[in-house]
Amino acid sequence: MSRYAMVIDTKKCVGCMDCVVACKTENNVPEGYNRDWIVQDVMGKFPDLHMEIRSERCNHCDEPPCVHCCPTGASHVHERGGVVLVEHNKCIGCKACLASCPYDARFIHPDGYADKCTFCIHRVEVGLLPACVSVCPTHCMYFGNLDDPASDVNKLLNSRSHHAVLPEAGTKPHIFYLT
Amino acid sequence: MTTHEITTTRMNPMIDPGMHIWGWEIPVYLFLGGLVAGFMVISGYFLFSGRFQESRHVTCFRAPLTGLILISLGMFALFLDLEHKLYAWRLYTTIKIASPMSWGAWILVLVYPAMAIMALIHLPDQKHLPIRVEFLHKLSQSLRSHEGLAKTIGAINMLGGAILGMYTGVLLSSLGARPLWSSSSLWLLFLVSGMSATAAFIHMVAPTKAERELLAKADNGFLSLELFVLALYLIGLATTSDVHADAVRLLISGTYAPVFWIFVIGVGIVIPLGIQILAVNHKVKHTSIPPLMVIAGGLILRFVIVMAGQHSHWSNAHGL
Amino acid sequence: MNSISRRKFLKITGTSAGALAAARALPSLPFANDALAALHEEQGEVTTIPTYCDICFWKCGAIAHVKNGKLWKVEGNPLDPLSRGRLCPRGTGGVGAHYDPDRLRSPLIRRSVRGDEEWTAVTWDEALDHIAEKMLKIKEQYGPEAVALFSHGIGGNFLKHTFKAFGSPNISAPSFAQCRGPRDVGFRLTFGEDVSSPERTDIRNAKCLTLIGSHLGENMHNTQVQEFADAIEAGASIIVVDPRYSIAASKAKYYLPIKPGTDLALLLAWMNVIVSEKLYDADYIAQYGFSFEEFSQSIAQNTPEWAYPETGIKPELIRETAREIARYRPASLIHPGRHVTWYGDDAQRSRAIALLSALLGNWGRKGGFYYPVSMDLPGYPYPPYPKSEKGKVDNPNQKYPFAHETITTGIREATISGEPYPIKGWWVYATNLFHALPNEQDTIRAIQNLDLMVVVDVIPSEIAGWADVVLPEATYLERHDDLNVEWFRDPFISIRQPVVKAPDDQKPNWWIAREMANRLGLESYYPWEDIEEYMQFRLEKGGYSFDSLKEKGIILGERQPNYFDEGVPAEFPTPSGKIEFYSLQLTEHGHDPVPVYKKPDDPPPGYFRLLYGRAPVHSFSRTQSNRVLMDMMNENEIWINADIAARWELKSGDRIRLKNEDGVLSNLIKVKATERIRPDCVYMVHGFGHTSKGLRFARGRGASDSQLITRYKVDPLMGGTAMNLTFVTFEREA
């Protein structure tokens, strides 16, 4: 059994968007669309500020509302690592999945189907890291198996304080941010 | 004072800066679905209660037939909204229990025969039909002669209509990521609103005063109930969490407040309710104006809920 | 570029050492790493070609992937010491340069007045013959020196060669007088050596890192950002001094929101604390320092209490950070910055950074400034260049005594005035002078004095719009350039080679330079036919395999000492041979021997100081037609303090114009009302606000800081143009 997850160290991330560019070239994401993105979250009053920088994308949730609401089964949980994927030829473009995602991680591809991050499963299947992780110049992104206690992601989650985005939405997200 | 600044580099069409995945098609579809649900329930009720023998009721033939047309229009609107139209047939290759969208597809399939058979029970006179369809009349007579069967058909339509009406609400409320929709009373609201629109519609087109009166009274009941359910819906959300309270604020004091208060509450419910109360008490004449207001209010309600719902969000990244 | 003689190091022993290093350099992945081929089979026929990047001038090793004959993606070369296998976002987005729909496609000759951007497309022969004729005419009339070259980046190496052969010494790049010049001068005056590029900053080993206006993470020079992240991970104490809460500031233990223009006061106060509390490295100073006593006396008045009203930084915080900086010495690095032409005292401010570094004893020490090394690669044997009798035009009578490189704005002035001698021809290679030099009206005035103006570029930049002849260059993914024999922590050679064909009639710079030389009667300077021949010659002469370089992209040398304690001799090529705390050179030329703080001007009421910087996804003004990068950021914003914005009734997303004190109005620019900046200044990312007609996509997006910089000061030491002196106010669209 494997459940893939990403752990991102917000202390090291500089928000340079290399992950976004790499995703676009790797996956041929059309101009004007993003499967991943950067969020800068600033709290406080100048000069007493705190900023968290996050590289965000589909959370490949354990309870994926986008899969539940899909009327055709196009959105599905892939057996490999519990990755949430969309089968383009089953998708009717009803957009229920877009509305169901608390992260707004999906969009309609210009060809009509719902599209989103795939955790670069095509790379992972041949032993590579997702493009975003492999390119990150600050080495702030980690990818691995939550079910493997020895994985980097588990080690980091066990040793560092972390949070997910909108856990209160109840979707059990699989991207964790080290703080 | 501390501030919270969130900057995102994402700019996906229809998603950012505020979600706008559904335009006019879905509200129209939901409204027509609710209206047709009302047709099924009211016509089914007339059938169930044995009134189909009285030929003066429009509900017996014209309503189910109109319903068939309206539901087709609704489905066409839905089809227009699909982004991957060539694959629409995929809806009918599977049944997804967890997906209200999937049920809806199948419910719509069942709605057609149910309404069609209800329309058959009381066909108008031959002279009103453009062509002679002898076998239909034979079928109709045969159905009418089996009262139990007719009543069963009525019951099936009432049930089917109720499910259809509820489904239009559940479709939205199952999408928990939009706080404005994640309410357990949205299905009731849309069902009641559908019923009131249908009552108004029949009220408007009924040829006899008795039927008009009956439907006006029913409509007043539905409108009163709708007000109550709306209050329930708003209060329910407002007390769920701050995220949901933020969402409700969109309606009661935010961007959508003017439309909500003036068109949904005022024009759509309170004013026609007042006029119709006077009408059924014979203080004023029955006119088409209050029912038209109710119908318009019902449509606008769907628009407001669909649009404001898309803008409601779990995080405040979109500057609620 | 650097005239200092440096130590040369050993050659590597061939491919085996390279392969070993390659194996070490491979990242450890949680999955097997050898399945790339399988993915490629699945996705189509993919070939990979190593090269090095040119989106900025860091020259990171890259591997381009070509799928079914089309450029697909560019990744880092794991062998490359600069990128360590990971490119920055601009490098990753490099594919956009190849696919840029607005790029130049054929040689163009002007058919209207200059700046009108009306062109006739011509053949290369027509264009080059036309240029050669004009150049020879200028040479005949005014001498070869009357043709100047502005060239930025390694791509210009062969053009420079042609120019030197032609007899012109007037070769310049904005990277000196508009960028890092003051820093290198300040460090030269102190240590006798430059900081150079890539900076010799040992960020990854620093236990305390101080950034003064350096916005690493937004400034995306790959190695530095990678090492910055390493330092964060290792728990380094980070101190950031910036009027803006930068990305780096968000990583800092101490963030000092300094008043713009007062950095020198802070530096002096820090040194005052370190000296008065005797926190400095006394042994190091005793061994290597010159005139430390005089230095300590001259900063005796610069207490934190003195600096407080200048900088706005509380005395306790100055003391605390000074102690923090000293606590970790010598592994305490004060980053000297890169683009440091700010206030006119820039060389002296940079010298103060050098002096503070000297107090910490971090020069030549781990976690401070390391000694870069390079591989020993012979040059190509050319005939000697002709000696110019007139000398360079940019700095008559050594007006700027410490300018060790050519001053772009000096050439511009000479072109306008004709003094000390006339300049009648300009070649501009890969530098958009309208965005690089202050006061664009002066640039236009100079161009109007020319008989010949040639621009070699990939895109129709603003400067190309003013050319008589525009020569379209192939992008870095479509061409060879000179070998990169880098001065860095680890010695290596890298190759830039074509990955795909140029889509139209674009040519590589070496070809242009060679064709030009042939037309100027300088054939003897190009004994080789093809650049590969040139490269092969040099490599083989150096004992390296050209085939291996082509295949791997990098030849690594052996690890060499980088620090004094590893055996680097502690030599300081200053007049005293020591670290000059007190500079007699400066005294001789009438300048302060130890930096002295001068108050900056305050903005008039209703005006704000205009600051500018970098975005991680753009390089200068040259990537705004790269659609991949524009997809990341397609306009800049004007950062305005949230309270100020509220006072002006501006909110994020509003579009305004900026007006400077001379009434120059900017393009419309989007407001970013934010807590992340002081109320007395505003900030924008440099490089936007294009006006060139040819930049169909980029044109009109955002505003240009350089357009607003009409007033500037010149650094008296080295001629650098200080460009953070512009004050702007806001104009709402009617």
State which residues form the domain around A60. 4-178
Q: For residue C591, what pLDDT is reported?
A: 98
CATH architecture of B25-311: Up-down Bundle (1.20)
Tokens of C423: 């300049």
What total number of domains does chain A contain?
1
Q: Is C19 helix (H, G, I), strand (E, B) or coil?
A: helix
Provide the pLDDT confidence category of residue C463 given band limits of 50, 70 and 90.
very high
Q: What percent of chain C has pLDDT over 70?
A: 94
Residue of B nearest to C633 (CA): B9
Contact between C31 and A32 using a beta-carbon 8 Å cutoff = no
Buried/exposed C7-46: b ≥16 CB within 10 Å, e otherwise: eebebbeebeebeebbeebeeeebeeeeebeebbeeeeeb
pLDDT band at C15 (very low <50, low <70, confident <90, very high): very low
Residue in C closest to A4 by C-alpha: C30
The per-residue pLDDT for B141 is 82
Average pLDDT over chain C, rounded to whole?
93
CB contacts under 8 A, C 465-504 vs A, are none
| Chain C partners (3+ C-beta pairs within 8 A) | A, B
Cβ of residue C34 closer than 8 Å to a chain A Cβ: yes
**pLDDT given at position C30:** 33
Which residue in A92, A97, A115 has the most chain B C-beta atoms within 10 A of its own C-beta, making it the best mutation to test that interface?
A92
Tell me the pLDDT band of C44, cut-offs 50, 70 and 90. confident
Mean pLDDT across C344-373? 98
How big is the A-C interface in CB pairs under 8 Å? 151
Look at B5 and C676 and tell me if their CB atoms are within 8 Å. Answer: yes
Rounded to an integer, the average pLDDT of C438-464 is 97
Q: Which residues of A touch B86 (CB under 8 A)?
A: 112
Provide DSSP, C415-475: HHH--SS---EEEEES--HHHHSS-HHHHHHHHHT-SEEEEEESS--HHHHT-SEEEEBPP
The answer, yes or no, to whether residue C31 has pLDDT greater than 50, is no
Nearest Cα residue in chain C from B3 = C675
Regarding beta strands C289-290 and C579-580, do their DSSP bridges make them parallel or antiparallel, or are they unpaired? parallel
CB C298 within 8 A of CB C291: no
Does B3 sit within 8 Å of C675, measured CB to CB?
yes
Q: What is the pLDDT of residues C671-725, one digit of tens each?
A: 999 999 999 999 999 999 999 999 999 999 999 999 999 999 999 999 999 999 9
Q: pLDDT by residue (tens digit) across C338-350?
A: 999 999 999 999 9
pLDDT score at B46: 85
Inter-chain touch A104–B98, beta carbons under 8 Å:
no
Contacts of B5 in chain C (CB under 8 A): 674-676
> A95 vs B83: CB contact, 8 Å cut-off?
yes
What the block records as the tokens of C310 is 């200048």
pLDDT of residue C18: 34
**pLDDT attached to residue C621:** 96
The Cα A102–Cα B241 span in angstroms is 15
The shortest C-alpha distance from C219 to chain A (Å) reads 9
C82: three-class secondary structure by DSSP: coil
CATH class of C608-732: mainly beta
pLDDT per residue as tens digits for the range C612-647:
999 999 999 999 999 999 999 999 999 999 999 999
Return the domain boundaries, chain B: 25-311
What ranges do the domains of chain C cover?
Answer: 186-370+577-588, 608-732
- Residue B57 pLDDT > 70: no
Statement: residue C9 has pLDDT above 50: no
The pLDDT value recorded for residue B120 is 86
pLDDT tens-place values along chain A, 179 residues long: 689 999 999 999 999 999 999 999 999 999 999 999 999 999 999 999 999 999 999 999 999 999 999 999 999 999 889 999 999 999 999 999 999 999 999 999 999 999 999 999 999 999 999 999 999 999 999 999 999 999 999 999 999 999 999 998 899 999 999 99
Question: Where residue B30 falls among pLDDT bands split at 50, 70, 90?
Answer: very high
Render pLDDT for B68-122 as a digit per residue (tens, 0 to 9).
999 999 999 999 999 999 999 999 999 999 999 999 999 999 999 999 998 888 7
pLDDT in tens, C476-517: 999 999 999 999 999 999 999 999 999 999 999 999 999 999
Residue C363 is classified by DSSP as B
If you search the block for the tokens 């064909």, which residue do you land on? C501
Q: In this predicted model, what pLDDT tens digit does every residue of C655-664 receive, in sequence order? A: 999 999 999 9
Give the helix/strand (H/E) hosting C153: none
pLDDT at residue B319 tops 50 = no
Angle at C493 between CA C491 and CA C499, to 5 degrees: 145
pLDDT at B2 over 80: no
How far apart CA C625 and CA C96 sit, in angstroms, is 8
C222 in contact with chain A, both atoms CB, cutoff 8 A: yes
Kindly report the nearest CA distance between residue C212 and chain B, in angstroms. 25
Measured in degrees and rounded to the nearest 5, phi and psi for residue C702 equal 75, -175
Q: Distance (Å, rounded) from C-alpha B19 to C-alpha B11?
A: 11
Nearest CB neighbour to B175, from listed A40, A41, A99: A99
Give the pLDDT confidence score for residue B127 in this predicted structure.
62
- Closest-CA distance of chain B to residue C716, Å: 42
Write down the pLDDT at residue B52. 64
Residues C154-176: pLDDT tens digits?
999 999 999 999 999 999 999 99
Residues of B in contact with A31 (CB under 8 A): none
Instruction: Measure the CA–CA gap between B233 and A38, rounded to whole angstroms.
Output: 36
Region C402-416: what's the mean pLDDT? 98
Antiparallel, parallel or unpaired: β C332-335 and C208-212: parallel
Q: Residue C654: its pLDDT value, please?
A: 96
Whether residue C629 contacts residue C90, with contact meaning beta carbons closer than 8 Å, is answered with: yes
Topology (CATH level 3) of domain C186-370+577-588: Dimethylsulfoxide Reductase; domain 2 (3.40.228)
CB contacts < 8 A, B to C, total 7
C78 preceded by a cis bond (ω within 30 of 0): no
Is the confidence at residue B146, as pLDDT, over 90?
A: no
Is C631 in the A-facing interface, judged by CB distances under 8 Å?
yes
Between residues C140 and B1, the one the model is more confident about? C140
Q: Cα–Cα distance between A172 and A170 in angstroms, integer?
A: 6
Which CATH number fits the domain that encloses residue A103? 3.30.70.20
Size of interface A-B (CB pairs under 8 A): 164
C28 pLDDT exceeds 70?
no
Running DSSP on this structure, what letter comes out for residue C693? T
Does B1 lie at the interface with A, CB-CB under 8 angstroms? yes
The lowest-confidence range among A80-89, B203-212, C100-109, C464-473 is B203-212
Residue C512: the pLDDT is 98
Mutant choice from A21, A33, A41, A53 vs C, greatest count of C C-beta within 10 A: A21
Provide the percentage of residues in chain C whose pLDDT is more than 90: 94
2-41 in chain B: CB under 8 A from chain C: 3, 5, 9
